[in-house]
Amino acid sequence: MSDFYDSDWDSDQSYIVDENDSFSRYSDEVSIGSPESINSTFTINSSVSSNISENNVSLIMNNEEQDDVTEEESVPEQQSVPEQQSVPEQQSVSEQPIPSTSGTQLTSSEIDNENSCVICTDLWTNSGEHHVVSLKCGHLFGKSCIEKWLLPPNKAGICPTCKQKAKLRDIYKIFSRCLRPVDTIERDRAIERINNLEKENRSLQIELMNQTIAYEDLKREYDEFRLSAYNRAASSTSRSIHSGKRLRVEDDDDQNIRVSFEKEIKIIEGGCRVHCWSSIIEALTVSVDNPKPDKTFSFKHGVKKIPIVDTVKSQTVYIHNKPIRDMVLNQYDGTVYTVSFDKTIKITSMISKVIISSANLDTTPYSVHLMQSKPNMVFVGMSDGNIRMYDKRKFNSPVLTLSSSMVPIVSMAASDDAFIIACNFNSCSTYTFNDKENLEESDYVVKKLPFEGSFISTDYSDKTNQGVITCRPSSKHERMTHYVYDRNVSLANEFTSPIIKTFEGGKSHANLSRSRIFAHPNRNQINPSSLICVGDETTNGAIMWNCVTGQKQKIVTGSVVFDIGVIESSCEPKLISCLSKDYLKLYKLV
């Protein structure tokens, strides 16, 4: 009895009884210590266990039958689904939540988090630097991020997620459709193409730079060659003048010049700077200041008409608020064009003494000139280095702007066939129009003359087709230097110097005086020679040269000469006018 008790009490049956609370229900009725109680207990336990076994078997059979029924019902449903309807279901799989291994469904944001690198929090890619990779531990990262993590200076040597040891050789690329990396193939191709284009662009820029340097070298050699050719021609033509020797020419007596004093005119207003001659009104027009400005005169600066005949009275018209910088007179209607430091240009009739037109300028004008063959067109040299062409019929804005440099245009000269020469403090340039009839619509060609110096004046004579360019003393010239050029020579050969004569004056010159070139008053009207007359501060007067013989004639005025004029009157021989601050002196050429 004891063997049975010891072996069967700890059997599985006692566990089953305990699970179903049978022991607790029958323990109060039977005593455990008596054999009867043991037999009763065994009987009870056996009956209970048999009941439990029968219940378990029935439950298992019921579950198997339900599974068979479920499989039988699911088969016809799968077969009845048409193939055409399966396509949209496959396409919408990515849009539906994806179940996880735990049985829960993930949202799109959770999916992005699951497919993101834990280091940079960016999505993995299937190409490029951020390609999805795995370590030995199985955790996923972007390739560039985990490499930076394991490389110096970090040298972590562990997985960022599980802290297991890791090395660079433990990195493996993963190629799987189950992952959702960002498709960057097109982006990587675009980046590669951009890099190739940038590389090509850099190579082209380097080539362009090399070509530019080569072009500048060739241009410099070309300019040096032209300048040396000009200087050789100029030195050969003027060597006899610098050495003090006189050239031999035919009809020498006819080429000589003699100057005699004619008269002196006192200008009481003073402040004279520029003047010009008009053959229509037979008078000189001189810029003057208002000595006693009051309410009667609204302007402080003007022009004064001075007839060369003593019987005619002079007249003054005040037209500007600031000093007049330059003026030119229209020989056809007797109007004078003036530019002033008050940033205006005005057209004034010297016959009616009335301002006809006026235009405001945005910068200060320095010079003005007219083509006598184009009386409606006026050229204004500006302080910004540009030359503006105005039409007096529509005077509000310029019809053409000729670009030059940023240095003020201090002097201009023009021929009747649309040829302009302009000089600033550093250089001289010529402008030639292709269409000589319609200047405002014509193209033009700019050429910089190979002259060096501080230029202050230029003038041109249509009768001799020659001009003069004046330089004051500077680092390039020790003295006042006057270049006489022949336009025919410069047009005939590009490498032949147009300079036919070079004359030198005094060693000092502070003011911007104007020089003049004009035809010699001799009997040869077919091929006349030229004379130039320039102011000379060293001698307080002026100097006249014959461009053919080199003969020099000094004109002593007793004061600094600001402007030189040429008077060609029908009733008088050719006169030279020398304008100083308060006086106008006339000299006769004989």
∠ CA 162-166-168 to the nearest 5 degrees? Answer: 140
What is the model's pTM?
A: 0.58
Ranked by mean pLDDT, the top range of 56-60, 203-207, 536-540 is: 203-207
Q: What is the mean pLDDT of the chain?
A: 75
% the chain with pLDDT above 70: 69
Distance CA 18, CA 21 (A): 5
Distance CA 140, CA 160 (A): 10
Q: Which two tokens stand for residue 215?
A: 């072009």
pLDDT given at position 308 = 79
| 294-345 pLDDT per residue, tens | 666 678 899 999 987 776 788 889 999 999 999 998 888 889 999 999 999 9
| 31-70 pLDDT per residue, tens | 344 444 434 433 434 443 444 444 444 444 444 444 444 4
Given strand 541-546, what is the order of strands in its sheet? 516-519, 530-536, 541-546, 552-556
Query: Could you tell me if 427 and 449 are in contact, meaning their C-beta atoms sit under 8 angstroms apart?
Result: yes
Contacts of 543 (CB under 8 A, 6+ apart): 503, 505, 533, 534, 536, 552, 553, 554, 555
Q: Which two tokens stand for residue 429?
A: 């340039």
Give the type of residue at 58.
Answer: S
pLDDT given at position 180 = 62
